[in-house]
């Protein structure tokens, strides 16, 4: 880990430490800001005492990050267009990272202070979009190319659909429980349980479901939200010390061979299907931009030349450590451009399903040594998120459990909301899509309140909706303003 500082100028090394500290601070804040949602139901229903709940939640968040992979991490990274990712210099990279994180941390702390369950996912994504558009404005390029809008639309759709799904599914689960088990003790609130039955805790099986689903929610939250921190750290490392992190230097010769062969297969694909290439170029003319120097560019017309340069640089190479820093950066450039071509090709209308399957396999092999994270990065994010979980949870827990509905929440409502959130976030992890734990759970609670006909508290509901609507543009404006200011001062 510490070898990343070797050969760095003091101020560059200091900037690197500060940038990493900012990322970990964001994840720490994310822990007590978002993870409070994971234990809100278990705490409010007395299924678990608060300090045990947040401690176990921190542990499950930790393991969720460790075991979550990096799919969501690079979904976040690739919100920025490939041309920006392959051309970022150290100064621009530093300003980009600090602008995104400062905006995200400021908004998260503000909403936490007022006990509003706002989304860290929306905050981070808004910050990235703001930086991308600000960069396009400063470089006098079209705003349409400042952000990877196809990826942004995909992520935006998941952020919109997930809370709607949470609302509907949780409401349906509660309706079904009331219809088929109307006399069950699960429909009591903790206060009713204490007054009628003289018991402090939920019935055993209901308590077990509440505890297990809370820990499951903590785990899937860690695997989804933790990856966002991993993606940010990789942006920091690639922007500041690219020679050491643009490629996975621990990749095996087997991985390198697969990467090289994938590039060759992409060229062969175009060679054997000239009609597909012609349709592709007509559909994506805007991709014909000089993303890298020399004969290679992020232009599908130059796929054979890019592949030839890649093969030339990897000739006789079975370990990336054999390449100097400049060559590693070049290889990453070639791979990102080829992957961008393959991604656009896979999304082309009318492409036969067999060809689309081939292209998706090519993409997987092309990114095998660029989409990665060292173990110390994953462990650091996991630790920051886990520790953050045990701090400052009370404000958000009170809002989610006590201020959404006019009446106390029942065990059935808590179970429906938590099980819905676990399923929704778990499915998002399968498809490598970032979603908001905050909005999925709070919308699930709202769905159960409506299904229970116990009445929503309009003030809280209004604040949650406003936070949901305003977080993205507010983060975009904050991050864009900071980025523009930083670039003007350099």
Question: Domain map of the chain by residue range?
Answer: 28-243+374-489, 257-366
70/108 Cα distance (integer angstroms): 23
Buried b (16+ CB within 10 A) or exposed e, 448-466: bbbbbebebbeebbebbee
DSSP one-letter code for 298 = B
pLDDT score recorded for residue 85: 66
pLDDT score recorded for residue 293: 43
Tokens of 143: 């705003």
> How many secondary structure helices (H) and strands (E) does the chain include?
21, 0
58/54 Cα distance (integer angstroms): 6
386/218 Cα distance (integer angstroms): 10
Whether 313 and 330 have beta carbons less than 8 Å apart is answered as yes
Q: What is the pTM of this model?
A: 0.80
User: 195: exposed, middle or buried (C-beta count within 10 Å: 0-12, 13-18, 19+)?
Assistant: exposed
pLDDT score recorded for residue 292: 42
pLDDT score recorded for residue 291: 41
Whether 12 and 26 have beta carbons less than 8 Å apart is answered as no
Q: Which residues of the chain have pLDDT under 50?
A: 286-296, 403, 405
3-class secondary-structure state, position 289: strand
Q: In the chain, pLDDT over 70 holds for what percent of residues?
A: 84
With vertex at residue 471, the alpha carbon angle to CA 431 and CA 148, rounded to the nearest 5 degrees, is 50
- Three-state SS sequence of 330-360: HHHHHHHHHHHHHHHHHCCCCCCHHHHHHHH
């Amino acid at each position: 880990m510490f070898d990343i500082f070797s050969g760095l100028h003091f101020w560059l090394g200091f900037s690197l430490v500060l940038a990493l500290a900012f990322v970990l601070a964001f994840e720490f804040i994310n822990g007590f800001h978002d993870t409070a949602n994971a234990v809100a139901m278990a705490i409010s229903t007395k299924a678990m005492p608060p300090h045990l709940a947040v401690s176990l939640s921190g542990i499950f968040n930790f393991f969720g990050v460790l075991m979550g992979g990096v799919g969501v991490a690079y979904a976040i990274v690739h919100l920025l267009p490939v041309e920006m990712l392959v051309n970022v210099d150290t100064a621009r990279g530093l300003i980009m990272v600090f602008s995104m994180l400062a905006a995200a941390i400021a908004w998260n702390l503000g909403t936490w202070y007022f006990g509003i369950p706002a989304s860290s996912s929306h905050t981070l994504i808004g910050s990235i979009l703001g930086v991308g558009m600000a960069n396009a404005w400063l470089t006098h390029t079209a705003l349409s190319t400042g952000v990877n809008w196809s990826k942004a639309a995909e992520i935006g759709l998941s952020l919109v659909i997930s809370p709607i799904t949470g609302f509907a599914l949780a409401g349906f689960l509660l309706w079904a429980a009331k219809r088929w088990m109307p006399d069950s003790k699960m429909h009591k609130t903790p206060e009713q349980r204490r007054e009628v039955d003289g018991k402090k805790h939920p019935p055993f099986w209901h308590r077990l479901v509440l505890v297990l689903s809370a820990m499951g929610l903590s785990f899937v939250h860690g695997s989804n939200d933790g990856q966002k921190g991993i993606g940010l750290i990789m942006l920091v490392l690639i922007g500041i010390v690219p020679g050491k992190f643009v490629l996975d230097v621990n990749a095996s010769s087997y991985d390198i061979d697969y990467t090289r062969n994938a590039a060759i297969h992409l060229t062969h694909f175009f060679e054997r299907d000239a009609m597909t290439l012609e349709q592709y170029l007509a559909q994506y003319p805007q991709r014909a931009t000089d993303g890298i120097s020399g004969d290679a560019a992020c232009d599908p017309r130059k796929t054979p030349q890019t592949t030839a340069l890649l093969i030339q640089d990897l000739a006789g190479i079975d370990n990336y450590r054999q390449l100097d820093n400049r060559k590693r950066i070049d290889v990453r450039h070639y791979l990102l451009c080829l992957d961008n071509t393959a991604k656009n090709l896979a999304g082309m209308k009318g492409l036969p399903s067999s060809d689309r399957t081939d292209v998706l396999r090519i993409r997987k092999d092309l990114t095998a040594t660029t989409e990665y994270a060292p173990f110390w990065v994953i462990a650091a994010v996991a630790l920051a998120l886990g520790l953050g979980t045990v701090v400052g949870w009370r404000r958000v827990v009170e809002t989610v459990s006590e201020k959404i509905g006019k009446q106390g929440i029942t065990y059935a409502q808590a179970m429906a909301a938590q099980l819905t959130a676990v399923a929704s976030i778990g499915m998002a992890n399968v498809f490598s899509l970032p979603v908001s734990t905050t909005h999925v759970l709070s919308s699930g609670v709202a769905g159960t309140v409506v299904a229970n006909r116990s009445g929503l508290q309009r003030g809280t509901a209004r604040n949650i909706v406003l936070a949901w609507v305003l977080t993205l543009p507010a983060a975009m404006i904050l991050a864009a303003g900071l980025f523009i200011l930083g670039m003007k001062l350099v």
